[in-house]
Amino acid sequence: MKPGTAARQSVRLSLGLSNSSDDIDPNLCELGKLVVSLAGRSIMKDTFAVLNQMHADGVIGRYAIGGAVGATFYLEPVATLDVDVFVVLSQASNSPLITLEPLYHYLLPRGYMIEGEYIIIGDWPVQFLPPSGPLEEEAIEQSAEQHVDGIPVWVMTAEHLVCIALRLGRAKDFARILQFIEAGVLDTAKLEPIMIRHGLLDKWENFEKRFLNPDNL
C-alpha cells in the first residue's frame, strides 16, 4: 500500500464515501455536471473562453481556477458540480462591500443565467470568489497558464491549492492533500516558502503527524 493510502481511505470514510471511485451520489449524476476525465475539462472550454473574454473586456482582472476543478489539472479527475473562479472584484462605490454587479451587467444581457450563488456559463455553474486573504491573492498572482483544447486558462499552482486546502482543514481538504502527495506533483522548494509566508508550518506538521506518520498507516 502506498504511503498515505490508508490515511486517505480513513478520510474518505469520515466523509461517508467508499474507496471506490465509482461511488458518486446519483443525484449528482442526474445533473450531468461531472468532471470525470480529460474530456470533462474539454467541455469546459467554452466557460474558460468566456472568462478570458471578460478579462480582455476589463470586466475582471487576472483570475485563477481553484477548488476541485483546479485540482484536476494535476490529479486524477474527480466529481464536481461547479467551477471556482478566484478573482479580485471591485467594491461598490462608497461602500466597503465587494459587488458582483459589473459581472451581472456584462453576463445577463448575453443570456447567461443566475442560479443562487452561481452564474451558469457554458452549461457550468461558476462561482466568482474574491480572495479571502493574502494566500488567495498570491495564488491568483502566481497562477499558471494551462491550455484546454487551445484555450488558455489560469489555474492555481498545485502548491497553492495544497496550502489553501491545509488552511481550510476539512476532511475533504486533507483527502485532496494526500492525493497531491501520492501523485508526486508537488515541488517542495516552492511549497515550503508558501507555508512559511502564510504561517502554515504548524498546520503542516500536525497534518504529517496525523496522516503521514507510519504508525498511523
How far apart are the C-alpha atoms of 183 and 111, rounded to whole Å? 40
| Residue that wins the pLDDT comparison between 125 and 19 | 125
- The kind and range of the H/E element at 181 are helix 171-183
Q: How many domains is the chain partitioned into structurally?
A: 1
Amino acid at 73: F
Full domain range(s) for residue 62: 5-216
For residues 61-89, average pLDDT: 89
Q: Is the pTM of this model over 0.85?
A: no
Domain CATH number, residue 79: 3.30.460
pLDDT in tens, 35-51: 334 455 667 899 999 99
How far apart are the C-alpha atoms of 163 and 158, rounded to whole Å? 9
Q: Which DSSP state fits 98?
A: B
